[in-house]
Structure formats: C-alpha cells, structure tokens
C-alpha cells in the first residue's frame, strides 16, 4: 500500500507503516495459544492516518469459524464500526505468510498474522496485495 505526497513538483512515494500496542500483541499471543492447534481470528481496532496504521484493540468476531486450515467470519455479519481496521489470525504452522484464502478474504486496511510459537518474532502485518508492512510494537500507551 503506497501513497504519494507532493513535494514541490515532485512526488515522493511513502510506505505505510503499522504500530501495534504491546498489550494488543499480548492479547493476540494469549488468544492464539488458547486456539492452538486451531487457527484463531480477531478483529483489530485502531485508527489509520495517512502513512500510519495504529492498532490498539481487539474484538472477538461474532460467528467465527475455527479450524486447523481456515479461520474466518462472514464480514456482512459485522456491525459497521469505523474503528474496525482489520483482522488478526493465527497460523498453527510455522509460516506467517498470507495464504491465497487470506488474500481472498481480506477485510479492512491491515491483516496481521502470527504463527507458532506465537511470540513477537512471529507476528507480521500485510496489505491487500500480500506485501508486508513495517511493524513496530509500541510499549507506551498510544
Ligand atoms: Zn491465514
């Protein structure tokens, strides 16, 4: 996900980056471990600015389906809420790369994946095209 900013007569391309609160990451880790060996999925809340996506909360989706190979929920069941900016789901296997199904079921602005063994090193965020966002975990309250 790129956007352009005008600098005089020149356009510079900036990459969006993602910042995620420490306590949100801890919640994702706890939930993923509880779901293991199945996938778990949660809704991410936060806000999006021009070059920044800030994630600071989690919501358990209604009617979520969990299984070893697929986790998802019908997005038409979700209440309309502007603070819903994407989803996070776990991969019980050792890869946090998005699958074709993940890209086909993309919801919102950002998709976060965490894979086994579910720690800070196995979490990543990607955009609708499957390209990875730079991801920073923020300790302070944001
Ligand atoms: Zn997946």
- Ligand 1 geometric centre to CA of 41 (Å): 9
- Ligand 1 geometric centre to CA of 42 (Å): 12
6 falls within a domain: no
- Ligand 1 geometric centre to CA of 105 (Å): 10
- Ligand 1 geometric centre to CA of 54 (Å): 21
- Ligand 1 geometric centre to CA of 60 (Å): 17
3 falls within a domain: no
CATH of the domain at 96: 3.40.140.10
42 falls within a domain: yes
Give pLDDT tens digits for 20-68.
999 999 999 999 999 999 999 999 999 998 899 999 999 887 655 555 5
- Ligand 1 geometric centre to CA of 114 (Å): 9
Q: Kindly report the CA angle at 95 between 54 and 101, in degrees rounded to 5?
A: 75
126 falls within a domain: yes
51 falls within a domain: yes
Give pLDDT tens digits for 97-133.
999 989 988 889 999 999 999 999 999 999 999 999 9
**CB-CB contact of 78 with 43 (8 Å):** yes
Give pLDDT tens digits for 3-14.
455 555 555 555
- Ligand 1 geometric centre to CA of 82 (Å): 24
Q: Which residue has the tokens 């949100």?
A: 24
- Ligand 1 geometric centre to CA of 2 (Å): 23
- Ligand 1 geometric centre to CA of 5 (Å): 32
Show Cβ contacts of residue 39 under 8 Å, excluding neighbours closer than 6 positions.
66, 67, 68, 69, 70, 71, 89, 90, 91, 92
- What are the CA-CA distances from residue 81 to residues 16, 37, 46, 108 (Å)? 22, 30, 11, 11
103 falls within a domain: yes
* Residue numbers of the domain that contains 131: 14-70+81-138
- Ligand 1 geometric centre to CA of 103 (Å): 9
Q: Which helix (H) or strand (E) holds 21?
A: strand 17-21
8 falls within a domain: no
Q: Kindly report the CA angle at 120 between 135 and 21, in degrees rounded to 5?
A: 55
For residue 98, the 8-state DSSP code is P
Number of domains in the chain: 1
* CA pair distance 83, 106, nearest whole angstrom: 16
* Predicted pLDDT at 107: 86
108 falls within a domain: yes
């Amino acid at each position: 996900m790129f956007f352009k900013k005008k600098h005089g007569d020149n356009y510079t391309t900036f990459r969006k980056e993602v910042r995620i609160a420490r306590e949100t990451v801890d919640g994702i880790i706890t939930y993923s471990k509880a779901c293991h060996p199945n996938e778990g999925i949660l809704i991410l809340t936060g806000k999006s600015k021009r070059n920044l996506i800030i994630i600071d909360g989690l919501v358990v989706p209604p009617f979520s389906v969990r299984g070893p190979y697929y986790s998802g929920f019908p997005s038409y069941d979700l209440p309309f809420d502007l603070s819903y900016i994407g989803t996070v789901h776990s991969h019980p296997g050792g890869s946090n790369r998005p699958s074709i199904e993940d890209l086909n079921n993309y919801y919102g602005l950002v998709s976060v994946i965490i894979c086994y063994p579910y720690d800070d090193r196995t979490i990543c965020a990607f955009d609708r095209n499957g390209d990875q966002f730079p991801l920073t975990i923020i300790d302070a309250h944001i």
